Amino acid sequence: MEPMTPMKPMTPMKPMSPMAPTQQWWPENLGDPSSSGAQDGRRYAFFPHKKLLLVEQGGKLQRFNTGEHRITGVSQVSDKGALSFSSDHGPISLEDLEKVVQ
């Protein structure tokens, strides 16, 4: 049996590069959202000072009044692609929010 040979030292990892900023797709007059993201070809942005949730899909922008809900995240809840949003009052779906007509 041959004696064990020492392992080579690990090579240092390359530093992570900063994440690229997300492109702003919402109207500039709304400012910066407190929460935003994308899932399955849909994007969302929440503006608590306006109590407004924007959802964009396929170039179509929809606006929803969030009332007292503070949106913190999103998840897909079915095979049909229904979205559920996490809020400080628990999960809420788009169907539970008032659609804002422009």
Spatial distance between the Cα atoms of 53 and 70, rounded to a whole number of angstroms:
10
Q: Which residue has the higher pLDDT, 77 or 65?
A: 65
If pLDDT is split at 50, 70 and 90, which confidence band does 85 have?
Answer: confident
Q: Is the pLDDT of residue 82 over 90?
A: no
Read off the pLDDT band of 86 (50, 70, 90).
confident
Residue 88 has pLDDT above 80, yes or no: yes
- Residues 34-49 have a mean pLDDT of 87
> Which of 42, 37, 40 is closest to 86 using CA atoms?
37
Q: Which sequence spans correspond to the domains of the chain?
A: 33-100
The residues, any chain, with a CB within 8 Å of residue 74's CB and separated by 6 or more, are 37, 39, 44, 83, 84, 85, 86
Cβ–Cβ under 8 Å, residues 78 and 58: no
Tokens in use for 4? 């064990």
